[in-house]
Amino acid sequence: MNKKFLNKLFEKLIEGVITLSGGITSLAVILIVIFLFKEGFGLFGRSTLQDDMVLAVNKSNPLSRIKAANVKAIFDQDVTNWKQIGGKNDSIIIVRIEDIPNYFKESQLGANFENLAPCINHLTDSLSGVILFVPKKYITSSFKGKVLPEEKVGLVDFFTGKEWYPTAVPDSRFGVLPLILGTLWVSFGAILFALPLGLAVAIYLAEIADSRIRRMLKPLIELLSGIPSVIYGFFGLVVLVPLIQSIFNLPVGETALAGSIILGIMALPTIITIAEDAMRTTPRAMKEASLALGATRWQTIYRIVIPYSISGITAAAILGIGRAIGETMAVLMVTGNAGVMPHTFLQPIRTIPATIAAELGESAQGGIHYQALFVLGCVLFVLTLLINLGVEYVSSKRKI
């Protein structure tokens, strides 16, 4: 009796530990997701200017608002006259806070720059074509210029913008569309490369190879998934990138094609393993019936095995895409990291994971750049979630 009681107590204890572990793990995942979205969505509604900075112009300037793209063009000196953006015919004079000493003597500014605010006021009033980028604290109530309204980061502009310049001065640009399309572009290329090859290997292992060859090849293929991604990236950088540059006569070999091939190789173990397991679940009776009716081996594979296991093959393809979308280091090394709209596989691109890995260490915690990278993490999370839901949906269906 005591032994039965102790066994039940032990079972309850193990059950409680397992339940507690599962609850803690689930709670940790939920908290991570909440933190991710909380940090990310603080971006929207913030000013695209650097913290505590303002843009100001002369009071005679007819422009009451300047678009963020025009501000970037002005400070890049692509626009040099106000007339080019709808203002009067007057040359644009850019003045940053560090440029103020060029207009005033040290005695006018003061030993500790205590007269900086009056000097800024005077400079704005005296130069009709001026545009100032100065700290907000120097704009006093007696300021004679015109402070331009701040551009805010909007949800639509963020997801449809085509320029990603998070550290641009004075106006940061957060257009995530090239990064999303770059991620999908290289993932699509990877699956185009990996799916036919992976499906062919899976058919060979499941239906053609004898048991001895299968026992030898299966562990070797699964072992590929354990190789660190940086090794794949190094291989791509040393071997694949120069090869692509030479074959297509390109200025650089770091392209979407290089990223697609490397990611395709990395996705192969997942596709082969899952597709082969799905094919091996085909009932033996169905294959024997097909052969008994006069079908060849290849007809049986095409007409019976593949249709029966199509849900598993589809799940393998989707999981392969998920493997490609979330990859960071290998893509960072071989795709060129150019945040531009992708139009061909022979141009450099940048993906979301590579952007986060490359820029997070350079962003100030709590800053607008930091929050923008968290939004990218949210986008990547949603993409991965949709892929996983797709796998669950496809795996729950089976054609017979």
Question: How far from the centroid of its chain's Cα atoms is residue 321's Cα?
Answer: 14
Question: What integer is the mean pLDDT of 232-249?
Answer: 93
**Looking at the structure, do residues 364 and 289 belong to the same domain, yes or no?**
yes
- Using the structure block, give the residue that is written with the tokens 């999908």: 184
Residue at a domain's end among 116, 151, 186 = 151
CA atoms within 13 A on the CB side of 29: 6
Q: Cα–Cα distance between 148 and 175 in angstroms, integer?
A: 22
Report whether 96 contacts 135 (CB < 8 A).
no
**Looking at the structure, do residues 229 and 105 belong to the same domain, yes or no?**
no
Q: Cα–Cα distance between 341 and 10 in angstroms, integer?
A: 60
Q: pLDDT digit string (tens) for 27-85?
A: 998 998 899 899 888 888 888 887 788 999 999 999 988 888 888 889 988 999 999 99
Q: Cα–Cα distance between 163 and 176 in angstroms, integer?
A: 7
Does residue 8 belong to any structural domain of this protein? no
Name the percent of the chain lying above pLDDT 70.
Answer: 98
**Token reading at 333:** 């090394």
Whole-model pTM: value is 0.85
**Looking at the structure, do residues 270 and 315 belong to the same domain, yes or no?**
yes
Residue at a domain's end among 101, 116, 151 = 151
Q: What is the CATH number of the domain that holds 327?
A: 1.10.3720.10
The full 3-state SS of the chain, as one line of letters, equals CHHHHHHHHHHHHHHHHHHHHHHHHHHHHHHHHHHHHHHHHCCCCCECECCCEEEEECCCCCCCCCCHHHHHHHHCCCCCEHHHHCCCCCECEEEEHHHHHHCCCHHHHCCCCCCHHHHHHHHHHHCCCEEEEEEHHHCCCCCCCEECCCCECCHHHHHHCCCEECCCCCECEECCHHHHHHHHHHHHHHHHHHHHHHHHHHHHHHHHCCHHHHHHHHHHHHHHCCCCHHHHHHHHHHHHHHHHHHHCCCCCCCCHHHHHHHHHHHHHHHHHHHHHHHHCCCCHHHHHHHHHCCCCHHHHHHHHHHHHCHHHHHHHHHHHHHHHHCCCHHHHHHCECCCCCCCCCCCCECCHHHHHHHHHHHCCCCCHHHHHHHHHHHHHHHHHHHHHHHHHHHHCCCCC
Q: What angle do CA 33, 39, 43 make, to 5 degrees?
A: 135
Does residue 78 belong to any structural domain of this protein? yes
**Looking at the structure, do residues 220 and 73 belong to the same domain, yes or no?**
no
pLDDT band at 395 (very low <50, low <70, confident <90, very high): low
Q: Cα–Cα distance between 399 and 304 in angstroms, integer?
A: 10
Does residue 44 belong to any structural domain of this protein? no
**How close are the terminal C-alpha atoms of the chain, in Å?**
52
Q: pLDDT digit string (tens) for 81-111?
A: 999 998 999 999 999 988 998 999 888 888 8
**Looking at the structure, do residues 253 and 355 belong to the same domain, yes or no?**
yes
Does residue 38 belong to any structural domain of this protein? no
Q: pLDDT digit string (tens) for 179-220?
A: 999 999 998 899 899 989 999 999 999 888 888 888 888 888
**Looking at the structure, do residues 98 and 224 belong to the same domain, yes or no?**
no
**Looking at the structure, do residues 137 and 196 belong to the same domain, yes or no?**
no
Does residue 22 belong to any structural domain of this protein? no
Q: What is the CATH number of the domain that holds 127?
A: 3.40.190.10
**Looking at the structure, do residues 70 and 207 belong to the same domain, yes or no?**
no
Report whether 320 contacts 267 (CB < 8 A).
yes
Q: How many domains does the chain have?
A: 2
- Using the structure block, give the residue that is written with the tokens 């100030």: 364
Does residue 1 belong to any structural domain of this protein? no
Does residue 35 belong to any structural domain of this protein? no
Q: pLDDT digit string (tens) for 316-365?
A: 888 888 877 888 888 889 998 888 888 899 999 999 999 998 898 888 88
Q: Beta-carbon neighbour count of residue 142 at 10 Å?
A: 8
**Looking at the structure, do residues 264 and 390 belong to the same domain, yes or no?**
yes
Report whether 199 contacts 275 (CB < 8 A).
yes
**Looking at the structure, do residues 195 and 251 belong to the same domain, yes or no?**
yes
- Using the structure block, give the residue that is written with the tokens 């003045």: 95
**Range of the structural domain that residue 348 is part of:** 177-395
Does residue 324 belong to any structural domain of this protein? yes
Cα separations in angstroms, 290 against 275, 313, 357, 368, 390: 21, 21, 52, 63, 32
Q: pLDDT digit string (tens) for 268-292?
A: 998 999 999 889 888 888 888 988 8
- Phi/psi for 174 (5° steps) reads -120, 80
pLDDT value for 322? 80
Residue at a domain's end among 135, 151, 167 = 151
Report whether 44 contacts 154 (CB < 8 A).
yes
**Looking at the structure, do residues 85 and 133 belong to the same domain, yes or no?**
yes
**Looking at the structure, do residues 242 and 384 belong to the same domain, yes or no?**
yes
pLDDT band at 22 (very low <50, low <70, confident <90, very high): confident
Q: Cα–Cα distance between 313 and 395 in angstroms, integer?
A: 9
pLDDT value for 397? 62
